């Protein structure tokens, strides 16, 4: 009988030890996974933001779809202006040589992004299992002026996988799977990210 009681106590101790371990480990794993996934999504959003800025430089507005964004950036040229002091003017006052250079927009974009990027793949959310970012562009009237606006983003539930459940809010009071991670705003001329 004593042996059975000892085995039961050991078994209870093991179960309680495992429960304690899980209660400490689960929040740590959730936070690590959330940060890893969030950082990957932000990285892609920053690339899309740079691509949208380049598109606006070329077209004067923002792209309302990834197909349009990719097509224009891959086929258009960007005009660069270079001003240099006139070597024949020793005083370097008010005399400049203006040089206009046209180069493919994709080359300038790839320089800004730090290497070649497949523009067609920017639409896909990291860890999103094929889901794509939402993208919208429009115009609004702000201070009696027509202003171009853009908004690109996704909800946490689209990239959090198994952690998309609201039950994980117990580990992070600010966590909401319905909350968006985005840049831009369709209601104001703002292209900042909310990260």
**Range(s) of the domain holding residue 54:** 33-76+105-184
Output the average pLDDT for the chain. Answer: 85
Domain-embedded: residue 11: no
Query: Which residues are within 8 A (CB) of 99 and not within 5 positions of it... i.e. 6 or more apart?
Result: 81, 82, 83, 84
Domain-embedded: residue 162: yes
pLDDT of residue 12: 82
Domain-embedded: residue 83: no
Q: What is the mean pLDDT of residues 176-191?
A: 89
Domain-embedded: residue 64: yes
Q: How many independent structural domains does the chain possess? A: 1
Does 94 score more than 70 pLDDT?
no
**Which among 47, 49, 107 has a CA at the least distance from the CA of 80?**
107
Question: How far is C-alpha 139 from the chain's CA centre?
Answer: 22
Burial class (CB within 10 angstroms; exposed 0-12, middle 13-18, buried 19+) of 148: middle
Domain-embedded: residue 25: no
Q: What is the mean pLDDT of residues 18-38?
A: 81
Domain-embedded: residue 90: no
Domain-embedded: residue 125: yes
Domain-embedded: residue 152: yes
pLDDT of residue 92: 62
Query: 2 falls in which pLDDT band (50, 70, 90)?
Result: confident
């Amino acid at each position: 009988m004593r042996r059975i009681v000892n085995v039961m106590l050991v078994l209870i101790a093991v179960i309680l030890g495992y429960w304690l371990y899980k209660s400490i480990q689960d929040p740590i794993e959730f936070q690590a996974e959330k940060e890893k996934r969030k950082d990957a999504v932000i990285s892609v959003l920053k690339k899309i933001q740079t691509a949208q800025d380049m598109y606006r430089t070329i077209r004067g507005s923002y792209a309302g779809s990834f197909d349009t964004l990719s097509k224009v950036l891959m086929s258009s040229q960007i005009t660069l202006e270079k001003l240099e002091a006139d070597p024949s003017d020793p005083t370097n006052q008010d005399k400049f040589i203006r040089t206009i250079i046209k180069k493919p927009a994709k080359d300038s974009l790839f320089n800004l992004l730090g290497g070649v990027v497949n523009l067609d793949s920017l639409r896909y959310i990291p860890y999103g299992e094929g889901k794509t970012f939402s993208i919208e562009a429009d115009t609004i009237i702000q201070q009696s002026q027509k202003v171009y606006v853009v908004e690109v983003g996704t909800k946490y539930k689209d990239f959090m996988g198994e952690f998309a459940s609201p039950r994980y809010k117990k580990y992070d009071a600010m966590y909401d799977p319905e909350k968006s991670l985005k840049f831009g705003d369709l209601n104001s001329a703002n292209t900042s990210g909310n990260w």
